Amino acid sequence: MRICSLLPSATEILYALGLGDQVVGVSHTCDYPAEARSKPVVTHSLRQVSHLGSREIDAIIQQARTNSNPVHWIDGDLLRELQPDLIVTQEICEVCAIGSGSVFETAAQVLDYQPQIIISRPAGLQDIYQNIRNIGGAADVSERADDLVQGLHRRVERVQAGLVDIEQPPKVFCIDWLNPLRNTGQWTPELVELAGGVEGLAIKGGQTREVGWQEVLDYQPDYVMVMPCAFDLERGGQEARDHLSSSPQWPALEAVRRSQVYLFDGLIPSRHGPRVVDVLEGLAEAMYPERFPGLAPPGVFQKADF
């Protein structure tokens, strides 16, 4: 089978299912596992933003939304050359990956056949599990998909078993974007809850939104988890130093005074693939290090130095 993955989370799922050799094309943001970087790139961003800061990127996205302009485009000629049997796309965030409407339109224009197209639209952990099963079923590896999901289930259950006596979960604030300040949404508040905390500034399965500093001060989180979308640890740390530690409100947070601020690799929690459980384990280890020492895979998170 010839598969095109047009979003990073689907690429991660396909490789976790042992289908890397059948992936013939990926998106411009598919970078994990490393082998995916060698695949032909089918989608591109209309603007290079890797050198820009949070505020500049946000301005570009807001302008594109206001003018109803696309953020990404598909290389139709390459798609025709690749002749995929299966295409995986999404309907969750037009900033992170190309939308399904453009995929259907381009496929109809350049292909003289109808490939199978799977649309990913997760809001919570169960949706992510179902996406894994959907992709596995479409690629004729349903048993592998079930095994992968069961393995993720077991890891979640291990964390849950270590938290049965927690009576007062700590308040957590997860930061999805730094300038403007935004909270997290979709599956992240659920991950916080499963890891033994409560995300009082977000809604499970809900959308991210801008959050005012006064709202954060009133909330006074016990922990701050900095996980800027699509920023790795190095870039996320620099952005946090620029926009968080320089804010006059930052030192007034109890989490900051207690050094309970953690930086996550933003390339992981923003993706709805198998590594969301890595994030859950990182959250549990950050909040309960004595219960879960060394639980999270290396590189998922680190103590903040800002």
223: CATH: 3.40.50.1980
Q: Is residue 194 part of a domain?
A: yes
Query: What span, in angstroms and rounded, lies between the C-alpha atoms of 283 and 199?
Result: 12
Query: What span, in angstroms and rounded, lies between the C-alpha atoms of 17 and 27?
Result: 18
Same domain, 31 and 94: yes
Q: Is residue 159 part of a domain?
A: no
Same domain, 46 and 126: yes
pLDDT in tens, 233-281: 999 999 999 999 989 999 999 999 999 999 999 999 999 999 999 999 9
Q: Which of 151, 177, 201 is the last residue of a domain?
A: 151
pLDDT at 46: 62
Helix (H, G, I), strand (E, B) or coil at 86: strand
Same domain, 221 and 248: yes
Q: Is residue 164 part of a domain?
A: no
pLDDT at 82: 98
Same domain, 102 and 181: no
Q: Is residue 157 part of a domain?
A: no
Low-confidence ranges of the chain (pLDDT < 50): none
pLDDT in tens, 33-73: 999 999 999 998 765 655 667 766 666 566 655 655 556 78
Same domain, 17 and 136: yes
Query: Domain total for the chain?
Result: 2
Q: Is residue 163 part of a domain?
A: no
Same domain, 134 and 242: no
The boundaries of the domain holding residue 123 are: 3-151
Helical pair 142-161 and 125-138, crossing angle rounded to 10 deg: 160
Same domain, 139 and 244: no
pLDDT at 72: 75
pLDDT at 135: 98
Provide the H-helix boundaries in 39-124. 54-66, 76-82, 100-110
